[in-house]
């Protein structure tokens, strides 16, 4: 089974990012580039990282009307990243439009497109009281995953706790909310250790502060790889 550790590079600018990556030379880790740094540095940052040999999960969570998402994905497809995503809450038509946008570029055809089911900061209480979705959280995730599969996507972003559901559907799962046993949960509700995520069937784990805030980030990364892969 394909497995990998993705480092969440939630830095404020490329100077901070490249300083962090300096000790990783030769390892060519899989990196998650999210909204914070992408909105600061733009597509050129992704191109630089690809030139360095890094694999990229471009985590921009597109969520808009189908036409807008399709055009945006066409632009992102030109970057040739390994994985990118949209929100499953946008519906099947929107997800199909996202796939069309990627497929319109030669490099985008090789990009895995996944959908966000529910953010790991969402609890059952928030789902019911704020989003007015009265269904069980696991059932919502499964339905969103089924919609993603129907739209032709390869997988979803979900909590590691929901990875078994996704595995049963034949989809890949990209799971944030990963912490070492001795780490703080911070602002995420549904979390797991790398070892437990492996047991649950996660395809990729996304690890942020447990690596980026560690006293020895390379050692923390290697620990994650050892426990998960």
77 and 107 in contact (C-beta within 8 Å)? yes
- Catalytic annotation, residues: 61
Q: What percent of the chain has pLDDT over 70?
A: 96
Please return the burial class of 3, using the count of CB atoms within 10 Å of its CB with bins 0-12, 13-18 and 19+. middle
Banded model confidence at residue 2, pLDDT cuts 50, 70, 90: confident
> Alpha-carbon distance 126 to 138, whole Å?
14
What pLDDT, on the 0 to 100 scale, is given for residue 187?
A: 53
Q: Is the pTM of this model over 0.85?
A: yes
Closest CA to 70 of 40, 34, 42, 98: 98
Which of 61-65, 66-70, 157-161 is predicted least confidently? 157-161
Round to whole Å and give the CA distance between 6 and 225.
10
Distance CA 117, CA 145 (A): 7
């Amino acid at each position: 089974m394909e497995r990998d550790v993705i480092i969440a590079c939630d830095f404020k600018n490329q100077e901070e990012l490249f300083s962090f990556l300096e000790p990783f030379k030769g390892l060519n880790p899989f990196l998650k580039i999210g909204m914070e740094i992408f909105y600061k540095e733009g597509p050129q940052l992704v191109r630089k990282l690809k030139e360095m040999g890094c694999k990229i999960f471009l985590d921009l969570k597109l969520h808009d009307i189908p036409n807008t998402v399709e055009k945006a994905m066409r632009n992102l497809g030109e970057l040739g990243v390994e994985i990118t995503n949209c929100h499953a809450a946008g519906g099947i038509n929107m997800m199909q439009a996202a796939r069309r946008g990627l497929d319109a570029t030669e490099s985008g055809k090789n990009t895995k497109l996944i959908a966000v089911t529910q953010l790991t900061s969402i609890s059952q209480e928030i789902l019911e009281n704020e989003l007015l979705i009265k269904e069980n959280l696991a059932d919502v995730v499964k339905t969103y995953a089924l919609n993603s599969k129907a739209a032709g996507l390869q997988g979803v972003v979900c909590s590691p706790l929901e990875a078994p559901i996704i595995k049963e559907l034949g989809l890949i799962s990209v799971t944030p909310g990963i912490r070492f046993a001795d780490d703080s949960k911070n602002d995420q509700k549904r979390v797991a250790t790398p070892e437990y995520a492996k047991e649950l069937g996660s395809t990729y784990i996304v690890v942020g502060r447990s690596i980026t805030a560690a006293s020895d980030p390379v050692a923390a990364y290697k620990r994650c790889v050892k426990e998960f892969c």
